[in-house]
Amino acid sequence: MANASIHMLPTEVVDEELLLEGLRAGSADAFRGLYRLYLPKVAGLCRVLLRDVGVEDAIQDTFLRVFRNIQQFRGESRLTTWVHRIATNVCLSELRQRGAWRARHDEFTDDLGDGRDVEADLALKQSSQQLQTLMDDLDPLKRTTFFLHHVEGLTAAEIGVVLGEQRGTVLKRLQRTREDLLARWPSGLPDKASVRP
């Protein structure tokens, strides 16, 4: 079954109360179910935020925290929101540490010049991963907000819970993110990228 994707039940068809009851009782089956249910969501968020570096560690750390603190989950928000909040915290923490390292690293690499291949970048943008490439240039909070809203389907209020922000703040950031993406998106359809100056 290597490289085979896991068939996952959509979140909506899982009875969250039943799952929580099993988790609070310490049922191993319930933990396994939680893991299978939320692994794709957590993995997607971690990939978007961490850009494939340290993703596996972040996923593992997220589920460790979920399992350790599941007894403190009081059901005041959706389980999805709670799990995403933990995953976001783990990834942002990792990014902060990475940023500190990057700041030091850049001091040594500045003199080496910009090694980016402009042509390669352009070709990449023309590929199906164009959105991913554009999102990589966004700051982590914008990436998280856009991902949680447009990929995971969380509302602005739920994203506010995840990020610890007001709904209005989330909406403003979401708007700015959309405008950024539109401004940088090649005019017209993606296959018309060549018209971009």
Partner 1 sequence: MTCPTAELFELADGRMAVARAQGVRAHVRACAACQEQLRAAEAIVGQTAALRQPVDADMEARLWQALVPEVELAGARARKRAAWRELLGRRAVEMLELAWPRDGEHGWRVWMPRVIWTGVLAAILLTVLGPDVVPEESATAAPALASDAPNLAVGEPHEDAVRTAVSPPRSVFPTTAPAPSEPASMVSDALNGNTEVPAAAPRHVRGWHHLASATNSATATPGQALLACGAIVDLTEANATLVHNLSADAEIELDDGRVVVRVPKLPPGGRLVVRTADAVVQVKGTAFAVDKRNKDWTTVEVFEGVVQVDAAGHGREPQAGRETIFVHAGETRRIESVDAYLRRQIAELDDAVAAGRLEVGHEKAQRYLMVAGADGPDVDDVQLRLGGILSRTGHLAEAARLYRTVADGDGPVYARQNALAVLAVLHRDADRADAERATWDEYLVRFPDGLYVREALVRQVELGCGRADGAVEQARRTLASRFGQEPTAAAVLDRCRSR
Binding mask 160-189 for partner 1 (x = CB under 8 A): ----x------x--xx--xx-xx--x-xxx
Neighbours of 182 (CB within 10 A): 9
What is the rounded distance in angstroms from the CA atom of residue 100 to the CA atom of residue 97? 5
Nearer CB in complex with partner 1: 48/159: 48
Nearer CB in complex with partner 1: 109/175: 175
DSSP-assigned states of every residue in 86-121: HHHHHHHHHHHHHHHHHHHHHHHHGGG-----HHHH
- Judged by CB under 8 A, the stretch of 12-20, 37-45, 97-105, 118-126 that binds partner 1 is 37-45
Task: Kindly state the helix (H) or strand (E) to which residue 54 belongs, with its residue range.
Answer: none
Q: 77 with 158: CB under 8 angstroms?
A: yes
> Which residues 90-119 are close enough to bind partner 1 by CB under 8 A?
none
What is the rounded distance in angstroms from the CA atom of residue 37 to the CA atom of residue 66? 13
**Residue in 19, 37, 41, 94 binding partner 1, rule: CB under 8 A:** 41
**Residue in 20, 43, 92, 124 binding partner 1, rule: CB under 8 A:** 43
Neighbours of 115 (CB within 10 A): 6
- Judged by CB under 8 A, the stretch of 12-20, 92-100, 104-112, 123-131 that binds partner 1 is 123-131
What is the rounded distance in angstroms from the CA atom of residue 69 to the CA atom of residue 71? 5
Q: Which residues bind partner 1 (CB under 8 A)?
A: 1-6, 23-28, 31-32, 35-36, 39-41, 43-44, 47-48, 56, 59-60, 63-65, 67-74, 82, 85-86, 89, 128-132, 135, 147, 150-151, 164, 171, 174-175, 178-179, 181-182, 185, 187-190
